[in-house]
Amino acid sequence: MSRRNIIFGIALAATATLALAGCAGGSDAGGGDASTAGNDYGLVEAGTLTVCSEIPYAPFEFEDSSTETGYTGFDIDLVSAIADNLGLKLSVQDVSFEALTSGTVLVAGNCDMGASAMTITDERKANLDFSDPYYDSLQSLLVRSDSGIKSIDDLAGKTVGVQQGTTGETYTTDNAPADTEIIRYPGDGELWPAIQAGQVDAILQDQPVNIEHEKADSTYKIVEEYKTDEAYGFAFEKGASDALVKAVNGALKELKDSGDYQTIYDTYFAAK
């Protein structure tokens, strides 16, 4: 190869390098290079928003092999839209709810944020940072239709299942009759089979989840709802993810302003 050709080749390589650098220097939220997108957020994996969630908890999160992540639900669809807005891929990890509320999985670097129908509380704020609220919820009491139970007061001498570490557990502890036996389970994946097997007389947990059970099986019905002024938020490692929290809040606002949030919401909660 002549010296002239060598110099020409070097010039072409340099030009290509500058062009690539120019592309990478653009905004992350717009489908830039996935390998570098979100570098300013300190992500577990560059270019990917890794989300931890306790699954199943329909309609917020449940398994779906037809999707790229293997999961779907209101939370999952919403964080998928947020990831798209930020120019990131989405990865979902199934973890225990307790590991999320304690912040353990976030501190360990297993994920960038938690999305698991998690109520924002002062107690949890001691371990976690939260996004702006994205969903308002109620608690409810689910029983067998022929149980004779009409309210929480009728749980005297009976058993009620709750998810450990949740606001549903707190509400039950504070309001159920003193002789109610409260049985704590890791999640809805254990609660629902427990009432079906007759191991508990009732389930007290988030209303949308109990609605899914009521729709799936007419043997069960919601007999009481409780307004607890709960709002869900996405969770982040305490004091370590300011840039990501700000970005997620910005994406959430854009989704609400554009109507995309409402479209996702209506998919799971609009009257059928």
Q: What is the model's pLDDT at position 9?
A: 42
State the amino acid at position 8 in one-letter form. Answer: F
Which of 224, 166, 168, 161 has the alpha carbon at shortest distance from 196?
161
Q: Which alpha helices (H) appear in 38-166, and where do they start and end?
A: 74-85, 97-101, 104-107, 122-125
Q: Tokens for 263?
A: 């479209």
pLDDT band for 35, please (50, 70, 90 cuts). Answer: low
For residue range 147-184, list pLDDT tens digits in order: 999 999 999 999 999 999 999 999 999 999 999 999 99
Q: What is the mean pLDDT of the chain?
A: 88
pLDDT class of 39 with cuts at 50, 70, 90:
confident
pLDDT on residue 168: 95
55, pLDDT greater than 70: yes
Q: Is 60 exceeded by the pLDDT of residue 220? A: yes
Residue with tokens 């329909």: 58
| Contact between 186 and 164 (Cβ < 8 Å) | yes
Query: Residue 20: what pLDDT?
Result: 37
For 4-24, the pLDDT digits (tens) are: 333 334 343 444 443 333 433
All residues at 6 or more sequence positions from 115 whose CB lies less than 8 Å from its CB, including other chains? 51, 52, 53, 61, 75, 76, 78, 79, 234, 235
pLDDT tens, position by position, 177-209: 999 999 999 999 999 999 999 999 999 999 999
**Nearest CA-CA partner of 230 in 161, 137, 163:** 137
Is the pTM above the cut of 0.95?
A: no
Domains and their CATH numbers in the chain: 39-134+233-269 (3.40.190.10), 138-229 (3.40.190.10)
The percent of residues in the chain predicted with pLDDT above 90, rounded, is 82
Compute the distance between CA of residue 133 and CA of residue 114 in angstroms, rounded to an integer. Answer: 13
Which conformational region is residue 210 in: left (phi greater than 0), alpha (psi within -120 to 50 degrees), or beta?
A: alpha
State percent of the chain over pLDDT 70.
Answer: 85
